């Protein structure tokens, strides 16, 4: 294989890796989930906390008035993150208020630390929690995006549904440590560096 072939392959690989990073590495799932059934979730398939790690139609039901706390591993800097939540409601028809006709809702809170304590029906203890969004299920079927304006490590979802049996159903939750545009910028920089390396190699061969 010639130098040109190797160089072209390496540059192409760098672009492919960068594109994969933009599509996949931009989203980070929680490292752990704390949830307790408050008695309103009766289907065992909806009680697996691992269901929130991948968007695949399997979900964790919060329960009516229930909650879950998602740990993202370490404190993340302010103004550097966006979040996304995907909710699953079968046969959803979105009404004018953003809810499905079978309406379920949840509020989003963040905190930099949490000591793990909670009282039944009230998870937002043991930390200074800040409410940053409310999610109607109709707007979250394909993913509800929200900005996280302050430093955080933990995200809490608190169900605010009033009449459904199992509450808000979380198919997927994740944060973006860098905006998608930043990943594309890194990809471009990688291509630029690869191009310079290729030119230097050609110059060396010519000499």
- pLDDT per residue as tens, the chain (207 positions): 543 443 334 334 343 434 444 444 489 999 999 999 999 999 999 999 999 999 999 999 999 999 999 999 999 998 768 999 999 999 999 999 999 988 999 999 999 999 998 776 666 888 899 999 999 999 999 999 999 999 999 999 999 998 767 999 999 999 997 554 554 454 455 555 445 544 655 555 555
Domain spans in the chain, listed from the N-terminal domain onward: 1-26+179-207, 27-177
Phi and psi at 83, nearest 5°, equal -125, 160
Backbone CA torsion sign across 130, 177, 174, 138: positive
Question: 67, 106 in Cβ contact below 8 A?
Answer: no
Fold of the 27-177 domain: Jelly Rolls (2.60.120)
> How many Å from the N-terminal Cα to the C-terminal Cα in the chain?
20
| pTM for this predicted structure | 0.74
List the beta strands (DSSP E) in the chain.
Answer: 32-35, 60-61, 67-76, 81-87, 105-111, 130-136, 144-148, 152-159, 169-176
CA 180/CA 21 separation, integer angstroms: 9
The position carrying tokens 């929680």 is 30
């Amino acid at each position: 294989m010639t130098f040109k072939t190797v160089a072209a392959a390496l540059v192409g690989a760098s672009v492919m890796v960068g594109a994969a990073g933009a599509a996949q590495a931009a989203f980070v799932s929680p490292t752990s989930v704390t949830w307790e059934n408050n008695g309103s979730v009766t289907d065992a398939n909806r009680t697996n906390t691992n269901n929130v790690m991948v968007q695949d139609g399997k979900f964790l039901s919060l329960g009516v008035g229930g909650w879950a706390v998602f740990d993202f591993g370490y404190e993340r800097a302010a103004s550097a993150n966006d979040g996304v939540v995907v909710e699953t409601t079968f046969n959803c028809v979105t009404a004018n208020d953003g809810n499905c006709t079978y309406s379920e809702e949840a509020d989003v809170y963040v905190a930099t630390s949490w000591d793990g304590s909670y009282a039944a029906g009230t998870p937002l203890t043991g930390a200074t929690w800040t409410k940053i969004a409310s999610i109607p299920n109709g707007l979250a079927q394909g993913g509800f995006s929200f900005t996280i304006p302050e430093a955080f490590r933990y995200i809490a979802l608190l169900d605010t549904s009033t009449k459904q049996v199992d509450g808000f159903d979380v198919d997927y939750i994740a944060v973006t440590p860098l905006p998608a545009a930043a990943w594309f910028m890194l990809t471009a920089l990688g291509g630029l560096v690869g191009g310079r390396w290729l030119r230097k190699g050609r110059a060396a061969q010519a000499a």
